[in-house]
Structure 1
Amino acid sequence: MSKVVPARRRGLADEVADRVRDAIFGGAYPPGAQLREVELSTALGVSRGPVREALLKLDREGLVRSEWHRGALVTTLSDVDVAELDSLRSALEQLAVRLVVANASAAELAAIDEAVERMDRARDEHEMVRCDVDFHDAVYAASGHRRLVEAWQAIRSQVHLFLLTRIGVSAEGYLASIPEEHRRLASALRARDGEKALELFASHRGQALDVMLARER
């Protein structure tokens, strides 16, 4: 008797999830938007099965929430969601910064700098948010801590949604200020100034949190 069941091909559902995720991150489906299986299957040219699997995947990522009477909706972050994401991100990021300062190679620090340089070419706020998340990907990668990277990946989509919600509340000065903010972060890491880096990363998180907390209820 076989000890394992045969593997199923899940490539199509993963591709659908990628397409829907990209559409959410690109602003096509803002927080609260309904994601209808029939419409998505028609638009993507696939059956409803892969769409249903994709929406379940996005639900596990925290990007989508299912309500029995409304179906799948793009997640709208509550005040509790915002506070929990900020506190968890803070804990993970402090460890990442300490590890980068202590152990990152020249090539890993260069990858962080390259992520900052891409910000100067961002054409709109949504692209800038992608660059922001890419920057933090590079920081976690430079930490050299596999489980820390996995912990970041577990909340990465929700942090992306957090930043999209932040620009939805107020995008004033966002495109102009974000590259310089990240240049200062990268500079502190390159200088291996742990105290300064921790201070700057905390300020960076705090500015986004302040915008979110000031949103109208």
Structure 2
Amino acid sequence: MAHDDGKNSGMRRVRRRGLAHEAADHIRESIFDGRAAPGSALREVELAASLDVSRGSVREGLAILEREGLVRSEWHRGARVIELSPSDVNEVYTVRAALERLATISAAARMNAARLADLESLVQAMGRALEGDADGSTLLALDMAFHDRIYETAANGRLTDAWHGVRSQVRLFQLIRIERDQVDYRDRLVPEHHDLLRLMSRGPSEELARAAEEHVDSARRTLVHLLERDPDHPRS
């Protein structure tokens, strides 16, 4: 988790003024590392002072995050970080399962030795990270990179746009899943991705499609179970 310099609430100041994307980057980081918890208010005045940007830049940055699904704006209530409930998880992961099915099948149809080697290197990096007792954020970065490569290989622009529409939410939900049960995540990481890689190397198949859907659905079931078991568990 990042630490502040004692001069503000914890977000690093934006280096250049008036850049909505930079403001969005810093607010997104604060959501991912838990400083802005699910359901918490994101007040423009406080954010503008903390990040040393104009309120207009903050407003535009929040709009970017709203399009990513990390922020929701309500009349008279302003912007808030999205809530995390079983219903939210079910919606996001159901969409993701459908996207992953199409992405893996499309990628498998375009797979070649170089692309397989790239994916294999990521799986191997996962194994090394586990052996080195890497933290959850490091493992998740490799996880997300593996799936990003699948969408790149699929080479379907609209499919990739759809993935980017839920990607930030998936990352946030996965971070919370890891915080609540890192052992389960670490146990599944390499075997599940190795299985996807093995099946993609054989070309498109219904077995691959089912494996891609199950990979996502197992994560959904795990996180829903963790939320139902302890819905008020705070993030560290």
User: Could you state the TM-score of these two structures normalised by the residue count of structure 1?
Assistant: 0.82
Amino acid of the residue matched to residue 73 of structure 1? R
Number of residues of Structure 1 aligned to a counterpart in Structure 2:
208
Take 1:117 and 1:88, find their aligned partners in 2: how far apart are those partners? Answer: 28
Q: Partner residue of 1:66?
A: 73
Amino acid of the residue matched to residue 121 of structure 1? A
Q: Partner residue of 2:163?
A: 152
Amino acid of the residue matched to residue 63 of structure 1? L
What is the CA-CA distance between 1:13 and the residue it aligns to? 0.3
What is the CA-CA distance between 1:162 and the residue it aligns to? 2.5
Q: Partner residue of 1:46?
A: 53
The answer to whether the 8 Å contact 1:115/1:135 transfers is yes
Distance 1:129 1:57, change over 3 A: same
Which of 129, 139, 155 is 1:121 aligned to?
129
The answer to whether the 8 Å contact 1:29/1:74 transfers is yes
Amino acid of the residue matched to residue 71 of structure 1? G
Take 2:39 and 2:121, find their aligned partners in 1: how far apart are those partners? Answer: 34
- The 4+ residue runs of structure 1 with deviation greater than 4 A are none
What is the CA-CA distance between 1:69 and the residue it aligns to? 5.2
The answer to whether the 8 Å contact 1:169/1:211 transfers is no
The residue correspondences of 1:169-188 to structure 2 (distance < 5 A) are 169-188=180-199
The answer to whether the 8 Å contact 2:99/2:159 transfers is yes
Q: Partner residue of 1:199?
A: 210
Take 1:178 and 1:11, find their aligned partners in 2: how far apart are those partners? Answer: 40
Deviations 1:143-182 (A, max 9, x none): 1212211111122112222322323443333234313321
Q: Partner residue of 1:81?
A: 88
- Specify every segment of 5 or more residues in structure 1 that has no aligned partner in the other structure, as ranges: 1-9
The answer to whether the 8 Å contact 2:18/2:57 transfers is no
Distance 1:61 1:29, change over 3 A: same
Residue identity (%)? 42
- Specify every segment of 5 or more residues in structure 2 that has no aligned partner in the other structure, as ranges: 1-16, 232-236
Take 2:124 and 2:50, find their aligned partners in 1: how far apart are those partners? Answer: 35
